[in-house]
Amino acid sequence: MTGAASYTYQQGPDGKMYAIGGEVSISIPTGTTPEETIKNARQVAAAAMAAADPSAQDFSVASSAKVMEMQAQQQKTKELQEKMNGEKTYAKESISTNDADTKEDIQRINISA
Protein backbone atom coordinates (compact mmCIF):
# COMPACT_ATOMS: atom_id res chain seq x y z
CA MET A 1 0.00 0.00 0.00
CA THR A 2 2.97 2.32 0.34
CA GLY A 3 5.65 3.42 -2.07
CA ALA A 4 9.25 4.31 -1.40
CA ALA A 5 10.03 7.28 0.83
CA SER A 6 11.33 10.44 -0.83
CA TYR A 7 13.18 13.10 1.13
CA THR A 8 13.78 16.81 0.82
CA TYR A 9 17.37 17.79 1.63
CA GLN A 10 19.05 21.01 2.63
CA GLN A 11 22.72 21.74 2.92
CA GLY A 12 23.78 22.40 6.49
CA PRO A 13 26.41 24.93 7.67
CA ASP A 14 29.01 22.18 7.66
CA GLY A 15 28.40 21.57 3.95
CA LYS A 16 26.65 18.21 4.47
CA MET A 17 23.15 17.45 3.18
CA TYR A 18 20.43 16.87 5.76
CA ALA A 19 16.95 15.50 5.28
CA ILE A 20 14.50 18.20 6.36
CA GLY A 21 11.30 16.60 5.13
CA GLY A 22 9.92 13.65 3.30
CA GLU A 23 6.92 11.81 2.09
CA VAL A 24 5.68 8.31 1.37
CA SER A 25 3.08 7.66 -1.29
CA ILE A 26 0.08 5.63 -0.16
CA SER A 27 -2.38 3.91 -2.44
CA ILE A 28 -5.86 3.07 -1.23
CA PRO A 29 -6.76 -0.26 -2.81
CA THR A 30 -10.36 -1.36 -2.81
CA GLY A 31 -10.96 -4.91 -1.74
CA THR A 32 -12.92 -7.65 -3.41
CA THR A 33 -15.44 -7.48 -0.56
CA PRO A 34 -16.72 -4.58 1.55
CA GLU A 35 -15.00 -6.12 4.59
CA GLU A 36 -11.65 -6.16 2.79
CA THR A 37 -12.11 -2.56 1.64
CA ILE A 38 -12.93 -1.50 5.22
CA LYS A 39 -9.77 -3.22 6.46
CA ASN A 40 -7.63 -1.56 3.77
CA ALA A 41 -9.13 1.88 4.43
CA ARG A 42 -8.47 1.58 8.16
CA GLN A 43 -4.85 0.59 7.52
CA VAL A 44 -4.35 3.55 5.19
CA ALA A 45 -5.93 5.99 7.67
CA ALA A 46 -3.72 4.65 10.45
CA ALA A 47 -0.60 4.94 8.28
CA ALA A 48 -1.49 8.48 7.23
CA MET A 49 -1.88 9.58 10.84
CA ALA A 50 1.20 7.72 12.12
CA ALA A 51 3.47 10.78 11.96
CA ALA A 52 4.08 12.61 15.24
CA ASP A 53 2.91 15.83 13.58
CA PRO A 54 0.57 14.91 10.67
CA SER A 55 0.60 17.31 7.73
CA ALA A 56 -2.39 18.66 5.85
CA GLN A 57 -1.74 15.99 3.21
CA ASP A 58 -1.75 13.30 5.93
CA PHE A 59 -5.15 14.52 7.11
CA SER A 60 -6.40 14.58 3.53
CA VAL A 61 -5.33 10.98 2.92
CA ALA A 62 -6.85 9.84 6.22
CA SER A 63 -10.07 11.64 5.31
CA SER A 64 -10.19 9.95 1.89
CA ALA A 65 -9.63 6.59 3.56
CA LYS A 66 -12.48 7.26 6.01
CA VAL A 67 -14.80 8.13 3.12
CA MET A 68 -13.82 4.88 1.42
CA GLU A 69 -14.49 3.00 4.67
CA MET A 70 -17.93 4.58 5.05
CA GLN A 71 -18.85 3.75 1.44
CA ALA A 72 -17.78 0.15 1.96
CA GLN A 73 -19.79 0.02 5.19
CA GLN A 74 -22.84 1.31 3.29
CA GLN A 75 -22.31 -1.37 0.64
CA LYS A 76 -22.01 -4.02 3.36
CA THR A 77 -25.26 -2.78 4.96
CA LYS A 78 -27.02 -2.73 1.59
CA GLU A 79 -25.94 -6.31 0.85
CA LEU A 80 -27.14 -7.41 4.29
CA GLN A 81 -30.52 -5.71 3.75
CA GLU A 82 -30.87 -7.34 0.33
CA LYS A 83 -30.04 -10.70 1.86
CA MET A 84 -32.59 -10.18 4.63
CA ASN A 85 -35.22 -8.99 2.15
CA GLY A 86 -34.52 -12.01 -0.01
CA GLU A 87 -34.96 -14.31 2.96
CA LYS A 88 -38.18 -12.52 3.92
CA THR A 89 -39.48 -12.83 0.37
CA TYR A 90 -38.60 -16.51 0.39
CA ALA A 91 -40.29 -16.96 3.75
CA LYS A 92 -43.43 -15.17 2.53
CA GLU A 93 -43.52 -17.27 -0.63
CA SER A 94 -43.05 -20.39 1.44
CA ILE A 95 -45.87 -19.40 3.79
CA SER A 96 -48.13 -18.50 0.87
CA THR A 97 -47.43 -21.85 -0.77
CA ASN A 98 -48.06 -23.70 2.49
CA ASP A 99 -51.31 -21.75 3.02
CA ALA A 100 -52.46 -22.66 -0.49
CA ASP A 101 -51.62 -26.33 0.10
CA THR A 102 -53.52 -26.25 3.41
CA LYS A 103 -56.56 -24.65 1.73
CA GLU A 104 -56.52 -27.35 -0.96
CA ASP A 105 -56.31 -30.03 1.74
CA ILE A 106 -59.25 -28.45 3.59
CA GLN A 107 -61.29 -28.28 0.37
CA ARG A 108 -60.52 -31.96 -0.32
CA ILE A 109 -61.68 -32.86 3.19
CA ASN A 110 -64.89 -30.85 2.75
CA ILE A 111 -65.62 -32.48 -0.59
CA SER A 112 -65.01 -35.95 0.80
CA ALA A 113 -67.25 -35.44 3.79
What is the structure's pLDDT at 75? 94
DSSP reduced 3-state for 22: strand
Does this model's pTM top 0.85? no
The backbone region for 57, taken as left when phi is positive above 0, alpha when psi lies in -120 to 50, beta otherwise, is: alpha
At 21-75, the pLDDT tens digits run 888 877 777 788 999 999 999 998 998 898 889 989 889 989 999 999 999 999 9
Q: Residue 25: which of 44, 57, 2 has the closest Cα?
A: 2
At 6-15, the pLDDT tens digits run 899 999 999 9
Cα separations in angstroms, 17 against 4, 7, 25, 45, 101: 20, 11, 23, 32, 87
